[in-house]
A and B are shown apart, each in its own frame.
Chain A
Amino acid sequence: MSTVAVIDYGMGNLHSVAKAVEHVGRELAIGIKVDVTAQPRKIAAADRVIFPGVGAIRDCMAEIRRLNVGEMVAEAMQTKPVLAICVGMQALMEHSEENGGVDCLGLVPGEVRHFGDELRGAAGTRLKVPHMGWNEVRQARGHPLWEGVPDRSRFYFVHSYYVRTAGIATGVSTYGKEFVSAFADRNIFATQFHPEKSQTAGLRLLGNFLRWAGE
């Protein structure tokens, strides 16, 4: 029995993530226990950690700091596979321009930028923000979490801000501009999209995470 800790810092709906991971565990016949928790002891003891997040970064960072989640994530990244999703991915960076500018955890070099109010598509059409729906992810380089996921598969996104980082992108998408939709750095894999809401491709990525040993 291996354990997956989903870090619960009180921001939004973690049930989707937990349910999807449990479902994948059953499908692959991997004995999995999912713990939705903020307890440092449980997170330290888990075999894998998921760092999710939805909502505004200022509120997320306030709770992350209050509960010392940054330390737990930093420690987990040293020793075991960590999957960061959406605002979880953004929280890893150094700084976000959301809410007038918010310092983030600085565990990964890079920053979080707004898509802008005058975002235009290829034909000059105005693009809506948030970027909401199914977009293609081009696999910028190979990674165990992409195994069996066809290149340019569509994943479900909902976000108004995106990550800028150099050299570690594993997935790239286009919405008015090209942006990093997934990156990997040693034990961490981070996605701007929601694998738990991305049907077959998303469940495959979660299954790969359950079998990935990290590094």
Chain B
Amino acid sequence: MGLAKRIIPCLDCDNGRVVKGVRFVDIRDAGDPVEVSKRYCDAGADEITFLDITASHEERATTVETVGAIAARVFIPLTVGGGIRKLDDIRVMLNAGADKVAINTAAVFDPSFVRAAAERFGSQCIVVAVDAKQVEDGARPRWEIFTHGGRKPTGIDAVQWCGRMVDYGAGEILLTSMDRDGTKTGFDNRLNRAVSGAVRVPVIASGGVGTLEHLAEGVIEGGVDAVLAASIFHFHEFTIAQAKQHMASRGIEVRQAQR
């Protein structure tokens, strides 16, 4: 037995509460992030990802407090994303107890920020979050990077971009399909396979999970190292334990919850 594929519940947080936007609108409340994190950790989650979806300046203090409270109770890796734009934002989150930060828009506007971040804090804590949308179909599909919650195209090829981010020092890629996010129709596994085959670092698939089989497909068809999901866990459709059990039944190596 070797390295287990990871299941990462994602907490999208708005002003101190867990929410889940379907295609970034229609936001539903799913509870207190500290309680939710603890519940997932006890159920066998391999990591927790915390995304601050508003990240306005005033709410920054709330986020830092929440991250600190999660880190004091949950002893598995914690990634924090949303509004990470400066080296100081990273320092503040790591000091609050985050283990990794996810850089998204700031990387698109200033790719050298990723290099500076990796040099200062180490690649092991720099995750680059990539929001990709399919722009060409057929035999040679293409995906582009979109910003602003999937509204603004950038013209940047997503697969090439991921390779460049790894060259700059990204230790992991969090890959979200904007076409699938919130749809519950499954991952875009052609995208996952294209990126996972192109980079040497681990890839986390995100966007579109509606069933447990979708999680397994991400690993089997998409070739990813970790799968991220939010709403199927938040609204008690499935537990993390059920997700692990299902993946194991499909021949995927997973870590069983510890007592």
Contacts and interface: CB of A to CB of B under 8 A. Distances in A.
Interface of A: 11-13, 15-16, 19-20, 23, 54-56, 117, 121-122, 127-136, 152-154, 156-159, 174-175, 196-203
Contact of B124 (A117, A134, A136, A158): A158
Contact of B97 (A15, A132, A198): A15
A152 B2 CA distance: 10
Contacts of A197: 75-77, 99
Given A13-B94, A133-B3, A19 B71 contact: yes
A156 B95 CA distance: 20
B99 A199 contact: no
A157 B171 CA distance: 13
Interface residues of B, number: 36
B132 interface: no
Contacts of B99: 13, 16, 197
Nearest to A176: B2
The CB with the most chain A CB atoms within 10 A, among B41, B75, B76, B171, is that of B75
Contacts of B98: 13
Given A128-B225, A133-B46, A54 B122 contact: yes
B2 A13 contact: no
Contacts of B95: 13, 15
A133 B202 contact: yes
Given A133-B3, A133-B226, A158-B171, 20 more contacts: A12-B94, A12-B121, A13-B94, A13-B98, A13-B121, A15-B96, A23-B72, A117-B200, A128-B202, A132-B225, A133-B202, A134-B3, A135-B4, A153-B258, A154-B4, A154-B255, A156-B77, A158-B77, A199-B76, A201-B258
Interface of B: 1-6, 41, 46, 71-73, 75-77, 94-99, 121-125, 171-172, 200-203, 225-226, 255, 258-259
B122 to A, nearest CB: 3
B134 to A, nearest CB: 24
B9 to A, nearest CB: 14
Contacts of A133: 3-6, 46, 202, 225-226
Nearest to B258: A200
B41 A19 contact: no
Contacts of A158: 77, 124, 171
